[in-house]
Amino acid sequence: MKAAILIPVLVGKDAVGADAMAMARILEAKGIQTRVFCESADNVSVQTWPADQLPDFAGGADDLVIYHFSISCPRAREILKRCKGFRVVKYHNVTPSEFFRDYCSELEAACEGGRAELPAIVDLGCELYLGASTYNIDELRALGVPKDRSGVLAPFHRVEEMVEAEADLELLRALSDGARNFLMVGRLAPNKAYLDLIDAFSACARMLDEPARLILVGKADARLSRYNEAVHERIRALRLEQHVCWINAASEAQLKAAYLASHAFLLLSQHEGFCVPLIESMALSVPVIARATTAIPETLGDAGILWQEADPWLYAASASRIFSDQTLRADLQARGRRRYAENFSTQVLSRRFMDFLEPAL
């Protein structure tokens, strides 16, 4: 048996890329010759091969192919059609295009194309379909994927590596100046609802009788310049310029420092297929206040405070309660660590991954 990981675009610090590379490492550790195939790669240390070479390597009846689907890639479908072995689709969700309608026609079209491909992905009749969350796999089941050929496998991640990593001490000292730090980790995109986040933080800063800071860790996309400017304009309008710390394209050491210095993780995203920063927060004992949309309630479980609404004062009141009630704060931290250990640790995910592949192995 040979195994192939197929991912259209492999990015080193991307959640989908981390999931794909972890699968490759696990299969290699099991003694299975494994290669990663992609159309482009950025900031990765592993060797990759051109996607169109995959069938020559692992297209036989005894081989395994795992396709990570999160963007439109018609060529990937054609490759899967040519493969005769055990084919797995890992669905990470595709952001609905309407989030980008007012900001970037290119991204709007890419998302439209990705979502339009969902029926064709189902029609491939692959041997196994996995969703990063129940929210994800339910989309495919609604299109006809049988329950007995589908399941949920949370994405592999680099949380353990981050926990063990050295923090950026200079940044940690700068952020540990007595202010209440609110953290958001995620790319600067409309579906992440940064405008709602800024409003919620403004309410938090007004309600708290102490200095407050919003730490934003995420990469800005030049194609979303209009959205980026809208976020900056909201910050200026609310006179929060001195209260927002931007960390663009953070290193692992900077990310670790941001988590260690933060008192609450604040998430108002409107669309998430899983949301890895939630489990990072759990593992690093940062209490979470989040909006209960898409896959967020499933990922967070009982380890945080969830609101259906985007009313900023609900989030401010929650933050005030967390800071004033040490018993509640400690309970949320303990719930988060326990939920991470029981559901999302690498050991747990590895065991589930191999269980799903048992028919092929």
Strand partners, 65: 4, 87
Which pLDDT score, from 0 to 100, does residue 244 have?
A: 98
Q: How many domains does the chain have?
A: 2
96/237 same-domain check: no
In a domain, 102, yes or no: yes
CATH number, domain of 144, equals 3.40.50.2000
147/184 same-domain check: no
In a domain, 356, yes or no: no
**Digit-coded pLDDT (tens) for 203-242:** 999 999 899 999 999 989 999 999 999 999 999 999 999 9
How long a stretch of residues is the chain?
A: 361
Which pLDDT score, from 0 to 100, does residue 236 have?
A: 98
Q: What are the tokens at 2? A: 């040979």
Pairing assessment for the beta strands 48-50 and 40-42 based on DSSP bridges? unpaired
146/203 same-domain check: no
In a domain, 324, yes or no: yes
Which pLDDT score, from 0 to 100, does residue 208 have?
A: 93
86/121 same-domain check: yes
Q: What are the tokens at 173? A: 């000292």
In a domain, 40, yes or no: yes
Q: What are the tokens at 185? A: 């980790």
Range of the domain at 212: 163-343
Contact between residue 226 and residue 195 where contact means Cβ atoms under 8 Å apart = no
175/248 same-domain check: yes
25/77 same-domain check: yes
Q: What is the pTM of this model?
A: 0.95
142/223 same-domain check: no
Which pLDDT score, from 0 to 100, does residue 142 have?
A: 98
Minimal CA–CA distance to 214: which of 76, 315, 71, 112? 315
- Residue where a domain stops, chosen among 117, 136, 156: 156
In a domain, 351, yes or no: no
- Residue where a domain stops, chosen among 156, 178, 206: 156
Strand partners, 267: 290
109/189 same-domain check: no
31/117 same-domain check: yes
In a domain, 350, yes or no: no
Which pLDDT score, from 0 to 100, does residue 249 have?
A: 82
Which pLDDT score, from 0 to 100, does residue 69 have?
A: 97
**Digit-coded pLDDT (tens) for 239-253:** 999 999 999 889 999
- Residue where a domain stops, chosen among 133, 156, 179: 156
What's the CA gap between 152 and 56, in Å, rounded? 30
Q: What are the tokens at 203? A: 């309410």
In a domain, 319, yes or no: yes
Which pLDDT score, from 0 to 100, does residue 14 have?
A: 87
Which pLDDT score, from 0 to 100, does residue 137 have?
A: 98
In a domain, 15, yes or no: yes
Give CA separation, 59 vs 21, 184, 314, in Å: 20, 42, 53
Give the residues of the chain that fall short of pLDDT 50: none
